[in-house]
Amino acid sequence: MALPGAPAPAPAAAPAPPPPTVLMAVRAGLARPSRLPPLPAASALRLQLSVEPAAGGQRRFRLGLRQPEAAGGANVAEYDLKDISYKVRSPTCHELTVLSSSDEPMVFNFEEEREAQKWWTIVSSSLREVQKASDSMLASQASSLPAAAAGVSTDQDPETALTLELSETEELALHLAQAIEYGDEEVASQCAVALARQQATLSILLKESNYPTDDISMKVGVEDATSSASITIRVRAHTTIATLKQQIFQDYGFHPLVQRWIIGQCLCVDERTVSSYGIRRDGDTAFLYLLSAKMAELTEQRYEEDQAQLMLSSTSSLSDAAGETHKYNTLPNMSPKKGWGNEAGRKMDIGEISQHLDTLQIGDLFSAQPKPAAASLPSPVQAGWSCPKCTFINKPTRPGCEMCSTDRPDDYVVPGSYKPDETELWRMQQEQEGILQYQQALEAERLKNFQQLLQMEEEVLVPNREVLECRICYQQVAPGEGVLLRECLHNFCRECLRQVINYSEEPEVACPFRDDSYACSSHLQEREIRALVSPEEYRRFLERSLVLAERRSQNSFHCKTTDCRGWCIYEDSVNEFRCPICQALNCLLCKAIHEGKNCRQYQDDLQVQAQNDSAARQTNDMLQTLVQIGEAMHCPTCLIIVQKKDGCDWIRCTVCQTEICWVTKGPRWGPGGPGDTSGGCRCNVNGQRCHPRCQNCH
C-alpha cells in the first residue's frame, strides 16, 4: 500500500518485443551490379534469413544482406519475403528480384554447392509459409467482406452466396492460369487442388499467342454420297474444328451438324485445333464429308434459325476492319462453269459457291423435290469406287482408298471408257515400277537363298549357326560345334550323335529327338554318319548293318562253318550253297554241312547221336519246363525258345530278329515290320494298351 503523500507509482512499461530469430546465414558473392550502397568488398556478402512474430499470430520472414563480420557486419539491405522473388539459376547461383523495384535482379554466387542447396531449402520453405499465410488472409477477408457490406447481419441470401462462390472460383482459375504462365508450380498446384475440391467445370485452352500467326492454305476435298469437289480455305494453326465448321457454315451454308472432318486418317473432334491434326503449312490436305440432313437429324427449322443467328452475328462484325477477316477462296478440281470462277482474284460469294456445289449434288440439304431441268445442268456422276469404310470416292484405277487405305472391293470393275488424267497415269507408272522393283528384289533374294542351299548341300555336315542346348546331354553347344540334321533340322552336339551311331542296332540311324508327345521319325543320312564317326567305327557300323540285313531277310542262310561270315539269300529251287569265303558246301535242306553224305544219311546219324547224348536230352527238358511255367516262350516266327531276363515287355528273337510283345506272346508289329499297326499287339493304338499288365512293350 502506498503511504499518504507518497508519489504515485509510474505505469508499468510495455514488454519489449522478442528479437528476431536467425534461421540461417550464409556467405555469397554479388555477381551482378546493383544499386546497393558501396561495399568494402564488393564480392562478399552475408545473406541472413530471420523470422519474428507479427500481428494476428502470424510470422514475418525477412531476408537481410549484411557486410562480412570482418567488415563490421553492418546491415546493407533487408527485404520482406512477400516483397521479393527468389529463384535458383544453377546449383551455385541464385537470383533475387524486388517485386516493387525496376532494378535488375541481384545474382549471388556460392562457393559450395552443398551450402547453396541447404540455403535454398530454408528459403523455399519460408516462401511457402509466406504464401500460405497470404492465401489464408485473402480467404478471411473475402469471407468477412459480405458481412461488412451488409452492416446489419452476416446472413446471406442464396443469390449473394452463389455470386461470391463464382467470384472465388473465377479468381482461382485466373490464378491457376497465371501460375502456369509464369512457371510457379507451387501456386499452380494449390489452385488446382482448390478447384478440384470445388469440382469446378473448366475448359483449358492454349492462347492464340502460343501458335504461329501465319495463315495456312489448306486443301479440302468435299464429298457426299454421290459427288465430290475440291476447295482451298485459309486457316490458322489455332483454328479449332468447331470454328472451322462455323466458317464453312458461314461461307458455304453447310450446317455444322452435317460436317464430318477427317484429317490425317482421324475423325476430328470439335475441341482440337487443326494444328494438332498436322495442318501446319500451305498445301496440307483435309477431307470434309457431308451427311444428309436426315442422317444428321437436322430439321429445316433448326437450319433456318442457326443461319439467321449466324447472319446477325456476321452483320454486327462487318463494321470491324475488313482486313481482319480471313479471305476464303475455292480452287475446284473440275473445269469452271460459265458465270463463276473466271474472274481472277475475285472472291466468290456464298450464292456462287452454293450454286456450284448444287451442281455436284452436295449443296441441297433439305429439298427432296427434283430441280427443274432449266435450273441447272444434270450433275455429272464421278467415276470411281466408294470406299466401304469411309465412303470416299476413289479413282477407278486406285487399288486402295486414298483416305483410309482400305482395299478396293473385289467385285469392282474399272469402266472401259475411263481415261485417267496425268496425275493418275503418273501414280500408275510409279505403282508398276514399284511392283517391278519388288519382284526384282524378291527374285534376287530367291537366287541368293538358292545359292546358299547349293553351298550347304555340298557340305557334308551342316553346322549350327547359333548357340544351342543338346537335347541328349543338355550341354550348351557353341556355334559350329553342333550338327543340324538335314532331314528334320534337329540340332545335337557331335559327340552325342557319334554315340547314337555306335550303339545303333538298326542299319538306318533314327534321329534321337524325343519329348513327351513326339518322337522324330527321320533318319541320319549316310554321309552324315560317315563324317561323324571314325573309319574303324564306320566299318563296324557297316558290319552290324550287314548282319542285321541277313537276320531280317526271310530266305537268308549263314554258312555253318564256325566263325565264318559268309551268307546268302536262296531261292526255293536251290538246295545247296557253296560259301564264297570258306568254300564249304552247305545243305540248305538240313541246314548243315555234310559233304560225302546225303540228307538221309545225315539225319539218321543225327537221331542216333540224340538218343545217346544225355546232355542234349536234359537241355531239351529244361527248356520245355520254362515254356510251361511262363518264363520262356516260342518265337512266333522261327519257333525257337526265347527268354526275357528283365525290364520292359519288349524282346527281340536272337535268331530271326522278330520284335515280340512278351505279355501277349505274339509279334509286336504287323507284316510290314516296325511301325505297322495293322497287326501285332497294337499297343498304344487309339491310346489303348495291348494288355492290362503291359509294361511298355513299345
Active-site residues, by number, are 648
Cα separation of 277 and 99, whole Å? 41
Query: Residue 434 is placed in which grid cell?
Result: 514399284
How many beta carbons lie within 10 A of that of residue 190, not counting itself?
A: 19
Q: Residue 325: phi, psi to the nearest 5?
A: -80, 130
DSSP class of residue 380? P
Burial call 517-546: b when 16+ CB within 10 Å, e when fewer = eeebeebbbeebbeebbeeeebeebeeebe
Q: Is 179 helix (H, G, I), strand (E, B) or coil?
A: helix
Q: Residue 628: phi, psi to the nearest 5?
A: -65, -40
Residue 324 Cα distances to 330, 485, 493, 579, angstroms: 19, 80, 82, 119
Cα separation of 613 and 610, whole Å? 5
DSSP class of residue 237? T
Q: Is 435 helix (H, G, I), strand (E, B) or coil?
A: helix
Full DSSP string of 264-294: TTEE--TTSBTGGGT--STT-EEEEEE--TT
Cross-strand partners of 482: 493
Q: What is the CA radius of gyration of the chain?
A: 52
Cα separation of 211 and 329, whole Å? 23
CA–centroid distance for 672 within its chain:
54
Q: Is 494 helix (H, G, I), strand (E, B) or coil?
A: helix
CB 441 within 8 A of CB 410: no
CB 45 within 8 A of CB 61: no
Q: Is 568 helix (H, G, I), strand (E, B) or coil?
A: strand
Query: Residue 651: enclosing H or E segment and its boundaries?
Result: strand 650-652
How many beta carbons lie within 10 A of that of residue 653, not counting itself?
A: 19
Q: Is 652 helix (H, G, I), strand (E, B) or coil?
A: strand
Residue 597: partners with Cβ closer than 8 Å, 6 or more residues away: 605
